């Protein structure tokens, strides 16, 4: 789903529109490839990988709302993905003493081991898929996107 209207027209907003379309097509292309490999090699999905990646960074655990905010997806969405990870034994919900509305979500021992393996492959894939971008260019691109991001956060 990456069309963008009238990319060949000219006008004031032309360059930004074109940038948006490229951005979207690039990320969709890579995402599709990653999804296929995760499925084929590890029988998992991109959303599950993303949740595990977030939890791997926080051994102490994360609240559902932390996950949702960090991953830029809705609350209800995270519930379903975590449910499936729990049923696979990769993630656990731990009730907290203080606030009984919340629960700390964290990787299980098995989840942590499993993720480490997948993450190593994932990093290799990214290196391969973005191989045509030089490391230097990657840094410059990242810089531009980062400044966009921080400006964005300032406004919203």
Partner DNA sequence: ATATGTTATTTCAAGCTTAAAGTTTCATAT
Partner DNA sequence: ATATGAAACTTTAAGCTTGAAATAACATAT
Q: Which does 82 bind (CB under 5 to 8 A by kind): DNA, a second copy, none?
A: DNA
Q: Which does 89 bind (CB under 5 to 8 A by kind): DNA, a second copy, none?
A: none
x/- map, 15-34, DNA, by CB under 7 A: -----------------x--
Q: Which two tokens stand for residue 152?
A: 């964005």
Among 30, 73, 119, 129, binds DNA (CB under 7 A): 73
Q: Residue 130 CB: number of other CB atoms within 10 A?
A: 15
Among 77, 108, 119, 129, binds DNA (CB under 7 A): 77
Query: Considering only residues 101-120, where is the footprint of DNA by CB under 7 A?
Result: 101-103
Among 5, 13, 43, 100, binds DNA (CB under 7 A): 100
**Separation of alpha carbons 80 and 76, rounded Å:** 7
Which residue in this structure is represented by tokens 């990769």? Answer: 90
Strands 103-107 and 91-95 turn out to be: antiparallel
């Amino acid at each position: 789903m990456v069309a963008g209207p009238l990319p060949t027209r000219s006008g004031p907003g032309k360059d930004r529109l074109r940038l948006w379309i490229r951005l979207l097509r690039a990320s969709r292309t890579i995402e599709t490839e990653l999804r296929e490999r995760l499925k084929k090699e590890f029988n998992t999905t991109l959303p599950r990988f993303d949740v595990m990646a977030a939890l791997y960074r926080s051994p102490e655990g994360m609240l559902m709302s932390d996950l949702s905010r960090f991953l830029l997806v809705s609350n209800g969405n995270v519930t379903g993905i975590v449910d499936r990870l729990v049923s696979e034994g990769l993630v656990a919900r731990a009730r907290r003493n203080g606030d009984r509305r919340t629960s700390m979500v964290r990787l299980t021992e098995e989840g942590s081991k499993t993720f480490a393996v997948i993450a190593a492959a994932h990093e290799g894939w990214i290196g391969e898929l973005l191989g045509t971008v030089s490391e230097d260019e990657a840094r410059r691109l990242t810089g531009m996107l980062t400044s966009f991001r921080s400006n964005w956060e300032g406004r919203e």
